[in-house]
């Protein structure tokens, strides 16, 4: 009878080892699966951040009275009026540039003297106006 008990113990131990081995494999697979899911989620979040950050910023225009706008742009960027033109008889578009061309700003000024900076940039390059014989400043 002790032989049967030993066989049962050996069978039980073998079955237990197989069960634990299978459970460990399942745990490893589950761990790998979770790591893959987290990696996919992280890559998706990173992709969303990249796409979102590539969108242009939509800032409100800076508005103030025209004399204050000219003074602000002159002090902050060294920009002075370089040209402009009338818009439908109700407003004027002004282009201000720095003397070295490092920056420029387009400002709209209404009849009441209220001005708003519409857009700005870098590396202004003046062009020769045909028939004028000189570059605008």
The boundaries of the domain holding residue 9 are 1-55
**Maximum pairwise Cα distance, the chain:** 120
User: pLDDT-derived band of residue 80, with 50, 70 and 90 as boundaries?
Assistant: very high
Encoded tokens for 15: 């079955």
41 & 76 share domain:
no
92 & 45 share domain:
no
pLDDT at 1: 47
Residue 135 lies in a domain: no
Residue 112 lies in a domain: yes
The predicted model gives 95-102 an average pLDDT of 90
As for how many domains the chain has, the answer is: 2
Give the residue with greater pLDDT, 83 vs 29.
83
- Main-chain phi, psi angles of 108, to 5 degrees: -105, 130
Encoded tokens for 51: 């796409």
- Across 11-40, b (16+ Cβ under 10 Å) vs e yields eeeeeeeeeeeeeeeeeeeeeeeeeeeeee
51 & 71 share domain:
no
Residue 134 lies in a domain: no
Task: Give the separation between CA 49 and CA 66, rounded to whole angstroms.
Answer: 39
48 & 66 share domain:
no
pLDDT in tens, 51-64: 666 555 556 778 99
32 & 69 share domain:
no
95 & 51 share domain:
no
Residue 35 lies in a domain: yes
In what helix (H) or strand (E) does residue 6 lie, and over which residues does it extend?
A: helix 2-54
94 & 46 share domain:
no
Task: Give the separation between CA 93 and CA 77, rounded to whole angstroms.
Answer: 19
For 32, 74, 125, the CA distances from 44, given in Å and listed in that order, are: 18, 45, 41
- Tell me the pTM: 0.52
Which residues neighbour 120 within 8 Å (Cβ) at sequence distance 6 or greater?
Answer: 103, 104, 105, 106
């Amino acid at each position: 009878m002790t032989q049967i008990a030993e066989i049962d113990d050996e069978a039980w131990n073998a079955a237990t080892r197989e069960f634990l081995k299978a459970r460990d494999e399942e745990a490893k697979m589950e761990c790998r699966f979770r790591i893959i899911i987290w990696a996919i989620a992280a890559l998706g979040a990173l992709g969303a951040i990249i796409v979102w950050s590539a969108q242009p910023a939509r800032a409100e225009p800076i508005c103030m009275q025209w004399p204050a706008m000219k003074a602000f742009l002159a002090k902050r960027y060294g920009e002075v009026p370089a040209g402009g033109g009338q818009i439908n008889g109700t407003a004027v578009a002004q282009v201000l540039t720095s003397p070295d061309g490092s920056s420029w700003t387009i400002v709209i000024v209404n009849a009441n003297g209220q001005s708003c900076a519409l857009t700005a940039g870098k590396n202004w390059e003046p062009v020769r106006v045909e028939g004028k014989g000189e570059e605008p400043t």
